[in-house]
Structure 1
């Protein structure tokens, strides 16, 4: 177990303060943007770097003692040269004001990935990948904190790394664990370096600065405080809502207070809009425009990317199904938007509306239409039927190498949505044919 000493030149006397960030994913492309405008693309390419700069600004403005970065600084093991240079520029800003930086690497930026031959500032300490490393942080001539951390030596770590961390010793002051890992189960992320909350508690640390889960969350509010700050900039429709980092203040008595700080410059929004009660195209346009106005008003000056999902039953469903209508609607709503400091971009409009009929009545029909609705209902509500259906689909996910590259596992919520959409398509065709025959 290696021990290192680092000292601070700034910070508030009698207290300890730091910023906890993770999953910067510098130079990560925004995904899910269709028909992207080149000017918009240029703005989005800067978003992860702007979030990083906001973190550096926060450290300087708050005069913190140090910055913790819990893995995935970059988006891939072969980090871009541009991303590495911009990252070091931010660290040098902190060096000029005496703020220390402690970094552990994760699955996207393991130690065995390519790195340019660049000189690291002296205020930076990168955790070893050979085992848990203990770093003493000195302030005003005394050890004010102990940071214990470990980097990923390679990309795929399935071992519980927490088991290699030492227990807090009696003479250690405020002790922080720094690691990129999965606590418990989270279906949205692969289980890298999996561990349990009990594993963390057994080491008797005061704070766990974690990375890997992109949604900000406080896993445990009491000692040990366990936090995922999430990524500082959302990059796709699955990363909606505020993104940022945590500012942490520790009193002389050891009491810990935390505050989430927003750092994203572009925010993702998904809004569901019901067509029930809407009869004309103009009413739909007004409803969507109202949503845009609401997003702009509540954005805090930042830009936004929106996805609208149209739901419900109503006569507008017939119009929405017309070829080219959604494309025209999207073009109309995007028209006039300029890439100013604050922009609102509609990424797409999805039609999940239903044929304007009572589904309960269709379930009672003793014909092909009734059978269709009963089958879908069974797949949505009967666990045995759902499992058999998943087994039928399994070759898509496991047997085909190409399929695995492009198709991810479908959770129950997405499965229900896909089943409903399939039912809608079939009912539209069948019931429209009935209308024509009548």
Structure 2
């Protein structure tokens, strides 16, 4: 037996905040989720798999565009021609999708409803495979859905599909929370998970696997992105990750002794030459200077990143990089009185900048999908660093944003 496990295609991702991209690159970014998904369907056909599992968030939002719906219909039709079934569970981004779907999928597609149910496939080899799963009826599912999955059916194989958040127990989560201790006693042969965008194998006996997303969509989604080809070896199912991303995201830090903006630009070009990317890569570069800039250059920092992007296009293209964020942390002359009490700040920051406090501060604002997505991408340490920088600027009488 052989199948593909993928999740979190996020077709129609808006890629907010990238308005400064060159037109050609912007178009490539907008196509990227579709192009990455196509690699999954191409692989399914090339491998002649027995079926394809898509574990939630096929679309980025409940209201799918005509282009995204038509794209999936065409891909499913390709698989139908090759007699490859597709099993879908919708997630928190594309919940209640049947309310918006205006074109029926081909007959090879099975879509789970809001309750856990089981569909059974009979393969060309004569093997039988039970697949259990459900789709989100609304954006948030707080109930313990994992508890409602049935025990292993009287089939050769049994697979669970679950779009949710793994926890250690006792954690209040909005996205179908579950624990490994809940899944393992079901004695399934494989758990095909969605929702977490980083691919990872949570357990091997049986495999409990997050496929991750096929294409990174923001600067916090660095590293390889793809799906899993799962094959049977005796009585075991073995997942093998394969990459699908057509562009990458990366964060990096450059420390330099440059004391002028001209020297700073040369340091960036040298860094680009020494760090070429394998794929077109949207890069967030933080530059730290070990020596103070002059007051004149310090005042020009606000415009410098944009100027650098425009004047160093050749170096950026050669390295296959584009800076989606270029932040300069320039060393400044130590503050005269009043001095900031660093120990006090560190203790206070450790208490204030925590995930729990962020959730409390933003509160019901996270019920708005776009704000919830933004909050998922913001780390407490990022807010702490921004707050520290602003506070120091205020103490020096500066109000310029250099990021």
Q: Give the deviation of 1:46 after TM superposition.
A: 0.9
Pair 293,62 (structure 1): closer, same or farther in 2 beyond 3 Å: farther
Do residues 239 (structure 1) and 207 (structure 2) align?
A: no
Q: Does 1:324 align with 2:303?
A: yes
**Displacement of 1:242 after TM fit?**
1.5
Aligned to 1:152: 136
Q: What per-residue deviation string (whole Å, max 9, x for no partner) do you get for residues 263-300 of structure 1?
A: 1111111111112x33344443233224334553x41x
1:413 aligns with 2:394: no
Distance 1:324 1:400 in 2: 33
- Structure 1 unaligned runs (5+)? 1-15, 431-438
Rounded to whole Å, the distance in 2 between the matches of 1:155 and 1:143 is 36
Q: 2:259·2:294 contact (CA, 8 Å) conserved in 1?
A: no
Trace 1:207-286 onto structure 2 (pairs within 5 A).
Answer: 207-220=190-203, 222-251=204-233, 253-275=234-256, 277-286=257-266
- Mapped to 1, the partners of 2:214 and 2:31 lie a distance apart of 13
TM-score by length of 1: 0.79
Report the secondary structure of 1:234's partner residue: coil
Q: Distance in 1 between matches of 2:73 and 2:160?
A: 23
Q: TM-score, normalised by structure 2?
A: 0.85
Cα distance in structure 2, aligned partners of 1:55 and 1:405: 27
- Matches of 1:139 and 1:405, distance apart in 2: 41
Q: Which residue of 289, 311, 333 maps to 2:288? A: 311
Q: Which residue of 2 aligns with 1:379?
A: 348
Structure 2: how far apart are the matches of 1:219 and 1:250? Answer: 19
Write the distance in 2 (CA, Å) between the matches of 1:209 and 1:402. Answer: 27
Aligned to 1:353: 330
3-state SS of paired residue (1:210): strand
Backbone CA RMSD of aligned residues? 3.3
Residue number in structure 1 paired with 2:185: 202
1:19 aligns to what? 4
Instruction: Give 3-state SS (helix, strand or coil) of 2:186's partner.
Output: coil
Higher mean alpha-carbon deviation, 131-140 vs 320-329, is at: 320-329
From 12, 16, 35, the equivalent of 2:20 is 35
Partner secondary structure for residue 107 of structure 1: coil
CA 1:325–1:248 in 2, change beyond 3 Å: closer, same or farther? same
- Match of residue 268 from structure 2: 288
Question: What residue is the counterpart of 1:117 in the other structure?
Answer: 102
How big is the shift at 1:376?
A: 2.6
Q: Deviations over 1:338-372 (max 9, x none)?
A: 7x9x9532212112333255xxxx7xx8x412x45
- Corresponding residue SS for 1:57: helix
Partner residue, 1:178? 161
Once the two structures are TM-superposed, the CA of residue 185 in structure 1 deviates from its matched residue by 6.6
Q: Is the 8 A contact 1:185 1:191 kept in 2?
A: no
The runs of 5 or more residues in structure 2 that have no matched partner are: 399-403
The Cα shift of 1:192 comes to: 0.6
CA separation in 1, counterparts of 2:294 and 2:360?
Answer: 34
Indicate how the Cα distance of structure 1 residues 17 and 316 shifts in structure 2: closer, same or farther if over 3 A, else same: farther
CA drift of 1:325 comes to: 2.4
- CA shift for structure 1 position 405: 7.5
Alpha-carbon distance between aligned partners in 1 of 2:284 and 2:346, rounded to the nearest angstrom: 27
Q: CA separation in 1, counterparts of 2:50 and 2:381?
A: 44
For residues 91 and 395 of structure 1, the distance between their equivalents in structure 2, rounded to whole angstroms, comes to 42
Q: Counterparts of 2:200 and 2:80 in 1: how far apart (Å)? A: 29
1:3 aligns with none
Displacement after TM superposition at 1:71 (Å): 0.5
1:395–1:26 distance in 2 versus 1, CA, 3 Å: closer
Task: Give the superposition deviation at 1:424.
Answer: 3.6
Query: For the Cα contact (< 8 Å) 1:134–1:148, is it kept in 2?
Result: yes
Q: C-alpha displacement at 1:174, in angstroms?
A: 2.0
SS in 1 for 2:16: coil
From the CA coordinates, give the structure whose radius of gyration is larger: 1
> Structure 1 residues 57, 197: CA separation in 2 closer, same or farther (over 3 Å shift)?
same
- Cα separation, 2, equivalents of 1:404 and 1:25: 13
Report if aligned partners of 2:353, 2:381 keep a CA contact under 8 Å in 1: no
| Mapped contact 1:160–1:193 kept (Cα < 8 A) | yes
